[in-house]
Structure formats: structure tokens, C-alpha cells
Amino acid sequence: MQHVLITGGAGFIGQNLVHAWCKARPDDRLVVVDAMTYAANVRSLEPLITDRRIQFVRGDIGDAALMRRLFDEHHFTRVAHLAAESHVDRSIADPEAFLQTNVLGTFTLLKTALDAWRSSGAIDRARFLHVSTDEVYGSLGPDDPAFTESSPYRPNSPYAASKAASDHLVRAFVATYAMPALITNCSNNYGPYQHPEKLIPLMIIHALEGKPLPVYGDGSNVRDWLHVSDHCGALMSVIERGRIGETYNVGGGNERNNREVVGLICETLDEAFAAHKDLASRFPSCPAASGTGCHSLIGFVTDRPGHDHRYAIDAGKLATELDSRCSVGFESGLRQTVHWYLAHEDWWRDVTSGAYRAWIDKNYGFRIAV
């Protein structure tokens, strides 16, 4: 049995990891911490909280006193650190928040864990997993090989720079203080419970509401798409069996450009409306309700600054060392995701609050069609 701290556990990847951890390791004791900023939603965790399978704490990882109290009370032997500001467009508008959480917050958590484990003598059996992003590596050309763990860091957005800085902090703690830490760098995640500011849920919800589907530039930007369930499986493998001080890239092996992704979303929605006639009454503004097709909503808008053209992950090290491989193909995973949002309208209606609508207006309202 392990005593586990999961930070950012009410976020998209975090809440999926909490559910996966409880299923795979039901005897572990989990404490979930989240600052409950705009992208967090604790609804999916409520059954686990009610059944006392997890303890949920609303708090900031930058609060050193709170972090120390939790370590003193729960004697954590595992930390899965996912708390982060993670949206590139928001980092362009407000970079300071990303430095506070991603850099200073990570430092506070590292120092607290190190002090607690040293003083308790638990450092030899403890593990700290820092969950990062492939965006720290920068952008790839069309024919460049995929990023490996030895690829140089070349962040191009305030978000990517803040995650690169936190990666370096973790690595420095390992080298300087023998911190029992590991790092993962993942590609773009998708799946259930993702905040609708991200590309896939944004396009699904906009299509259902009959709103424009704004695609940056010419839609040729390429991402490697990773289903969140595959990511969570990899994280549990790394924290338990990975080598201390090592970095493991986690990718889906599913490179798609944005035009392809949005096109498949539209195709899946059109098929769903054709097969389930009740959807037309639930979402009358969706073009699929009248048989027009969701592709009619697609439009290309001015690109964002510093938009990386392509990411691709070589996850060979993860597969070779830990026998961890992705099992969800992109087409099937995306179709499952579209149907999840169709079935969980109450969830995303609750999430798409006035603050969310104000952000969409701010980020996309000024962009002109190209």
C-alpha cells in the first residue's frame, strides 16, 4: 500500500488518473489536491470522495504551509504532480500565472517533498513523478524525426517555457539532492472530461451549438494525439517501475493535422445524428440536425503567435524499458470522445460558464477569417 498525493487531480488528466489509480491499486490511500481554477471540475470525483476512497483538498501547490501539513499528516510515498496551467493561448495573454504555478509551485512541492522524505527517512522508498509536455522541445519540420528524451529544449510559448523551467528544476533536484524523481513528457491528450478550451472538445461543443469552428492558419499544424487512458497507464508504469532521474516520452503515435482532426469530428457528429434521431431535438442548432453537415461550420482564422507547426513523440524508451504501449487508435478514440460529449451534455454545459464564454470571445473574437 502506498500513500499517494496527486496534484491537479480535478483537471482533465488528473481526474482520469485518479480513477485509473483507484481501479488499478484500490488499497492505496489517495489525497487529491487542486486549486480549483477555471479548468478544474470535481464532479467526476464526487463518488470517490463520498465513498472515502480518496480525500480531496482544495489548495494551491504554492502554499508551502499546506503542502507541509499534508506531508506530515499523510506520509506520502508517491507524488504524481500534474497541477499546472496548461493552455498556450492563455499563457500568451497572462504569462505570470504560468510562472507562478508551473515554476514556483513546482519548486515549493519539490522542496516540501524532499524535506519531508529526508526527515522521515522515506527518501529511499519514495517517488516523485513530474508530468510535463512535448511542447518543451519546440517545433518540428515536416520531415524531422520525432522528439526523443535527448532532444534539446526549445520552448516557443510562455506555457512551454514554464514547463521547461519546471523540468529543469526537477532534474536539478535529482542531481543536487538525490531527489527520487522522474519526468514524463507527453503529446496532446484527448478524451473524457477535457476542458472545452482545448481543440477537440471546443470543436465538438461549437458544432453542437451551431457555432463557427475556428481553425488556426491553414489547419496544417500537426500534433501527436494520445488518449488520456493510455497516458494514465503510462504514468502509473513510470512512477512504479521507471528509473529514478530518467525522462520518459509518452506519445500516441497518431500524428494528425488540425484539418484532419476537425474533419473527423464533423464526420462523427454527422453519423451520430443520422443514427440517433433524438439528437436533432436536443441540439437543433447543429447543422447535422437538418442534414446540412457540420463541415459547413469550419473556417480558418489568423494564427496565434509562436504556433509550433509539428510535434511528434518517439515513445520507444517507454515501450522498451517498461513495456508500456498505447492501445487506443486515434479514429476509434476520437469517436468514443465525441460520443462521450454527446452523452454528458450536463457536464459541459456546467463547465461552459460565463467566464468560459468571455474567454472564447477574447481569444477568437479578434481573429479574422483567412
Work out the percent of the chain whose per-residue pLDDT is above 90: 83
Which of 94, 82, 108 has its CA nearest to residue 163? 82
Examine the pLDDT at 253 and tell me if it is beyond 70: yes
Q: Could you tell me if 299 and 212 are in contact, meaning their C-beta atoms sit under 8 angstroms apart? A: yes
Q: Could you tell me if 196 and 352 are in contact, meaning their C-beta atoms sit under 8 angstroms apart? A: yes
Classified by CATH at the fold level, domain 3-195+224-255+307-328 comes out as Rossmann fold (3.40.50)
Examine the pLDDT at 365 and tell me if it is beyond 90: no
Examine the pLDDT at 34 and tell me if it is beyond 90: yes
pLDDT digits (tens, 9 = 90+) for 326-344: 999 999 999 999 999 999 9
362 pLDDT band, cuts 50/70/90, is low
pLDDT digits (tens, 9 = 90+) for 169-194: 999 999 999 999 999 999 999 999 99
- Catalytic positions: 134-135, 159
Examine the pLDDT at 214 and tell me if it is beyond 70: yes
CA dist 321 and 309 (Å) reads 30
Examine the pLDDT at 349 and tell me if it is beyond 50: yes
pTM listed for this prediction: 0.92
CA dist 303 and 370 (Å) reads 9
Task: Please report, as a single letter, which amino acid is at residue 192.
Answer: P
pLDDT digits (tens, 9 = 90+) for 110-139: 999 999 999 999 999 999 999 999 999 999
Average pLDDT, the chain: 93
- H or E element: which one contains 234? helix 228-241
Q: Could you tell me if 182 and 128 are in contact, meaning their C-beta atoms sit under 8 angstroms apart? A: yes
Residue recorded with cell 495573454:
93
65 strand-pairing partners: none
User: Which of helix, strand or coil describes residue 16?
Assistant: helix
Examine the pLDDT at 364 and tell me if it is beyond 80: no
Calculate mean pLDDT across residues 231-248: 98
Distance of CA 167 to the CA centre of its chain: 16
Contacting residues for 141 by C-beta, under 8 A, at least 6 apart: 309, 310
User: Which of helix, strand or coil describes residue 60?
Assistant: coil
Torsion angles phi and psi, residue 350, rounded to 5: -65, -40
CA dist 63 and 66 (Å) reads 5
CA dist 352 and 360 (Å) reads 10
Calculate mean pLDDT across residues 151-174: 97
Pairing of strands 298-301, 78-81: unpaired
The pLDDT of residue 37 is 83
The pLDDT of residue 367 is 43
Calculate mean pLDDT across residues 104-110: 98
